[in-house]
Chains A and B, each alone.
Chain A
Amino acid sequence: MSATATMVERPPPQARGWPRRRIAGYALVCLWILFGAGIVSYLVIAWNADFFAKYAPAYLRGLGVTLALVSISMVLGAMLSVPVAYGRMSSNRILSGLAYCYVYFFRGTPLLVQTYLVYYGLGSFRVELQSVGLWDFFKDAFNCGVFAFSLNTAAYQAEILRGAIESVPRGQWEGAASLGLHKLQTLRKIILPQALIVALRPYGNELILMVKASAIVAIITVYDLMGNAKLAFANSFDIQAYIWVALVYLVMVEILRHGVEWIERRITVHLKR
């Protein structure tokens, strides 16, 4: 331990003068600054009080729809992912085969196709759905979005859960069993606290992916953030409709990313040396 502690590598000293890579780096940073300044100045020049007054409330409403969609699907997906993960880890051939097929299908096909399959595809079974009284649910595009997204994220979350639980060494199970804890207690008190630390970062990534993917419900006529941007662009032919929405998404994703990093730092304090 002490040997590695003395071998701390220092970063190499900064090169002096203007080597080629520094020129390239400064040029690229300047390019980004120009790009950012271009966008800001465009937004200033194209500033349109009418546009803002008309669409800002719509964007806010859209943001609410996006957040609702993502949070509902994440929670439903988390609930659904538990039996799927159980199936994946089960020694029963049929059960694990079924879970594998479920995960493979939802991870192997685009979310857009799955959303279409629910929103347009289930329309083919209108009579059957009406007879069981589910048609009113699937008539609404938002519900279809939530349905497709929950199924999709359940597949990803099941894999995250499985990976995290399998990352806990077997000895932990055996130790708990030798102390006389039964399976459920072991899972709740021993395995999950360790597994969730491993799973936090993948869960955070999945949340970010869901926020980003939620933009596609705009295509099935849900007026989320992107849907309102589409509407604003269709009415005004003003590209700032998309620039504003891009900024909102970027800020949202950055907040989430840094939030997850902060939580990870907080809960792994006891693992740092």
Chain B
Amino acid sequence: MPAQSIWTLLSWGPDGWLDDIAYGALITVALALATLPIGLTIGFFIALAKQSEESSLRLAANIYTTVFRGLPELVTLFLFFFGMPILLQHLVRYFRPDATIDVNSFVAGMIVLALIFSSYASEVFLSAFRAIPKGQYEGGYAIGLSNWLTMRKVIVPQLLRIAFPGLENCWLSLLKDTSLVSVVGLAETLRNASIAARVTKHAFLFFGVASLVFLGLAVLSSFATGAILRSLGRWEAQR
């Protein structure tokens, strides 16, 4: 192999690897963005259950967070990625004996990351719930709003504002956790970088580039969250 300069390796096109890594970065962002709404929704409902008066609901929600915060992300991922096809296969065999099932690594990653993200986000939501005084609910009921409307019009807008910094942290760790899905074969940033590293034998270069990609995404999201926070503030000031 002729010695290639670093700039050829990092160029766009068939000789370089920049396009592969950029494509991987796209997958990373797509995975994180696809996980976010699912994780936020589950996390919100878990937090609701945790501050409910009903002790059985609290118990169920606490088991959920204990399990998914206690298990290493990698173990959860492997359990799901290898265990789910076996389980589904057993179920499907009752109907179609010859069926085989493969779990898509993007979908498996999305589900596992959503489970983990939601258990962390639920703690953030829970402490935000506790920061909202009871009078806010009572005020909502007093002017005749229903349970649902009080939640939507009175509580959630304040909740989001309070929970935002915590959720930002959850988002950042979600972004970092997506790199684990490379282990089960999703062609995201880290996996493409390690393929490039193996082929070209420039491991430090390509893993360095991968870490810069993640760093860039972190910087980008801190700009984005800053902008969201500012617009939230403006929106609140207008009312």
Given the known A-B contacts A28-B60, A218-B74, are A121 and B204 also in contact in the complex, defined by CB atoms under 8 Å?
yes
The interface centre, meaning the residue of A116, A213, A230 with most chain B CB atoms within 10 A of its CB, is A116
Q: Roughly how many angstroms separate A116 CA and B211 CA in the complex, as a whole number?
A: 10
Interface residues of B (CB under 8 A from A): 49, 52-61, 63, 66-67, 69-76, 78-79, 82-83, 86, 172, 176-180, 182-183, 190, 194, 197, 201-205, 207-208, 210-211, 214-215, 218-219
- A240-263 CB contacts (< 8 Å) to partner B: 242-243, 245-246, 249-250, 253-254, 257
Contact of B66 among A121, A245, A254 (CB under 8 A): A254
Interface residues of A (CB under 8 A from B): 11-12, 14-15, 19, 21-22, 24-26, 28-29, 31-32, 104-105, 108-114, 116-117, 120-125, 211-216, 218-219, 226, 229-230, 233, 239, 242-243, 245-246, 249-250, 253-254, 257
A residues in contact with B182, CB < 8 Å: 112
12 A-B contact pairs sorted by A residue (CB < 8 Å): A15-B53, A22-B54, A25-B57, A108-B215, A114-B211, A117-B211, A120-B194, A124-B202, A124-B205, A212-B73, A216-B72, A257-B70
Look across to chain B and name the residue whose beta carbon is closest to the beta carbon of A122. B204
**Majority SS at the chain A contact face:** helix
Number of A-B contacts (CB under 8 A): 153
Contact of B53 among A14, A249, A250 (CB under 8 A): A14
**Majority SS at the chain B contact face:** helix
Q: List 11 extra interface pairs beyond A22-B57, A109-B211, A124-B201, CB under 8 A.
A: A11-B53, A25-B56, A28-B56, A112-B180, A121-B203, A122-B204, A212-B73, A239-B86, A242-B78, A242-B83, A249-B72
How far apart are A240's CB and chain B's nearest CB, in angstroms?
A: 10
Q: Is the CB of A24 within 8 A of B71?
A: no
B residues in contact with A122, CB < 8 Å: 204
Q: Roughly how many angstroms separate A193 CA and B198 CA in the complex, as a whole number?
A: 50
Given the known A-B contacts A213-B72, A246-B75, A246-B79, are A120 and B56 also in contact in the complex, defined by CB atoms under 8 Å?
no
